[in-house]
Structure 1
Amino acid sequence: MGARLFLLFLIVPAVELALLLQIGRWIGLWPTIGLIFATALAGSFLARREGMATWRAFRQRLAEGKLPGRELIDGVLILLAGALLITPGVLTDLLGLIGLLPPTRALIRRYLMRRLQQALQQQTARLYVSFGGFTPPDPADPDSSGWSGQARPRPHYLEDDRR
């Protein structure tokens, strides 16, 4: 995972720089800078619009007493896409735009859900839940006899100030 991130942080900026230099040769310096600012502004506008629509859908689902799973995934995708659009570069702008458009976002969401479901079925991924600092027993560990962990200290703001 560390090597992948290293390559990502090395390759993506190099490709972005090469693309920006090439675009600068084609259309000139100031139009390229204008393009960078225009995509950042358009990205922030689109991210806000799509984010607000998702927030309304999220609140509606909660009001109906339903779990807003789709809306949560859309919110994360919109946040990531907005960050990509604000980042200067052609490649990141393209990926951000793909993440903000509802039809392509739905495709990404379905793909992510399918991958998560496969990983959970193959037991290559687990969902861990923690309750107050205690974790449930691990079914794969024969030595795990029950809940384990340590109690958290009482927060200082709950202490009685009348000592």
Structure 2
Amino acid sequence: MATYRLRGGKGWWIAAAFIVVPALEIWSIITMGGWIGGVATFLLMVASGIVGGYLMRQEGRKAWTEAQRQMEAGQMPGRALLDGLCIVAGGILLISPGFVTDLIGITLLLPLTRRFYRSVMLAWLEKKMRGGSFMMRGGRGL
């Protein structure tokens, strides 16, 4: 029997997320169903997916337009790219069934709360680059 070890023990939180997040989602769906009923819970989940898709499209357009504007001005569109990552992640979370991921997804899509995620991502990237643990790997050059 093969045993698998997470690299350096640093990825344990990924394994935990695959267990904890679905359990929280099931619990939230059952709880919401008890409060408002099964049909209303189902319709609320469908509505969150539709609203999430709409918001993702609108905010994605804004981020894309901003990235294009910055590139045309000769600037690196760093903030717009981080916004785009947040928007994609938020859209995916809103499309997936459940209310916990919906809450996180909506905060990733709304510009006011997206700033928090963007600053966390930027701080993480800066820490990785300063520490030398973030390396670009690619082809052999041109």
TM-score bracket, shorter-length normalisation: 0.7 to 0.9
Structure 1 match to 2:7: none
Structure 2 match to 1:127: 135
Q: Which runs of 5+ in 2 are unaligned?
A: 1-9
Higher helix share: 2
Structure 2 match to 1:115: 124
SS in 1 for 2:33: helix
SS in 1 for 2:129: helix
**Structure 2 Cα separation of the partners of residues 2 and 127 of structure 1:** 19
The question of 1:75 aligning with 2:84 is answered: yes
**Structure 2 Cα separation of the partners of residues 27 and 126 of structure 1:** 47
The question of 1:94 aligning with 2:103 is answered: yes
Structure 1 match to 2:69: 60
The question of 1:103 aligning with 2:112 is answered: yes
Q: Which amino acid aligns with 1:112?
A: M
- The number of residues matched between the two structures is 133
Q: Which runs of 5+ in 1 are unaligned?
A: 135-163
Q: Which amino acid aligns with 2:88?
A: L
Task: Report deviation, 1:61.
Answer: 1.0
- In structure 2, the CA distance between the partners of 1:61 and 1:3, relative to structure 1 (3 Å rule), is same
Structure 1 match to 2:47: 38
**Structure 2 Cα separation of the partners of residues 118 and 102 of structure 1:** 24
Task: Report deviation, 1:13.
Answer: 0.4
Instruction: Give the root-mean-square deviation of aligned CA atoms.
Output: 1.7
Runs of 4+ residues deviating >6 angstroms = none
Task: Report deviation, 1:33.
Answer: 0.2
Q: Which amino acid aligns with 1:131?
A: G
The correspondence of residues 4-15 of structure 1 with structure 2, limited to 5 A, is: 4-15=13-24
Task: Answer 1 or 2: higher relative contact order, Cα 8 Å, separation at least 6.
Answer: 2
The question of 1:3 aligning with 2:12 is answered: yes
**Structure 1 Cα separation of the partners of residues 101 and 128 of structure 2:** 27
